[in-house]
Amino acid sequence: WYQRRVHGQQIPVPGTVPDPQPYYKKTHSTGTSILAVTFEGGVVLGADSRTSTGQYIANRVSNKLTKLADNIYVCRSGSAADTQFIAEAVANHISFHALELGEQPRVKTAANLVKDYIYRYKDHFMAGMIVAGWDEYEGGQVYAINLGGTMVKQKWTVGGSGSIFIYGYCDDKIRDNFTGDEARQFVKEALFKAMHRDGSSGGIVRTAVITKEGVDIDYNCPDISGVPFSEKRTEKSLERQG
């Protein structure tokens, strides 16, 4: 929908359909690409960083990897407000639970708490989340929780609007004997491809490797921009973009 200004007022251009709701009143959405995979000794989570309101990009570098506990993180997709609330509420519950236990919480416990929120308020929340982490009972674990509250434990899972573009790639490249570095590289390459094709995904790729030793967080900028068949990013092109 295109507009032109006449005496300070925005007038729709003939032949176009006006948007009934301006972008600044729309729900912030993490229409997104998220991915998590297990390997021997831990898990790797990854996400892009684009948050949008309709066609307007509200934040290019939002963090969709949210800490629930020292050993557990969650990937968020859906409504930014809904997923932030769920993550903060579960992190609060988990912190008290860890104090009562006197040890790190189990990944399954955090995943069940996330599932309960999504299922209980499924008519109000728009949230699809991936809970992943490591604990001394079951090692590295990945739990996929969809919009309706169904929770499934998987070796790897992908979610968000960009997931449809990379299911085939993931099926082809996934292995059971990944090392930590190989799993992280797999997550990066898959998300780069999703961001390249999906208009709701973009920005940078954040990854987190969770093992017995702790959490290692990294971020990378893709070599190509989000428009298909666009030119490779070079030092000269980055200078031209400012």
What is the set of active-site residues? 32
Q: At what angle do helices 107-120 and 80-101 cross, to 10 degrees?
A: 140
Exposure of 228 by Cβ count < 10 A (0-12 exposed, 13-18 middle, 19+ buried)?
Answer: exposed
DSSP label of 163: G
Question: Would you state the torsion angle of the CA atoms of residues 232, 233, 235, 236, taken in this order, to the nearest 10 degrees?
Answer: 70
Q: Distance between CA atoms of 190 and 185, rounded to whole angstroms? A: 9
- SS3 category, 128: strand
Going through the chain in order, the beta strands assigned E by DSSP cover: 3-6, 9-12, 34-39, 42-47, 51-53, 56-59, 65-69, 72-78, 127-135, 139-145, 151-154, 156-159, 205-211, 214-220
Q: Which residues contact 60 (CB under 8 A, 6 or more apart)?
A: 49, 50, 202, 203
DSSP label of 7: T
Write phi, then psi, for 160 (nearest 5 degrees). 90, 175
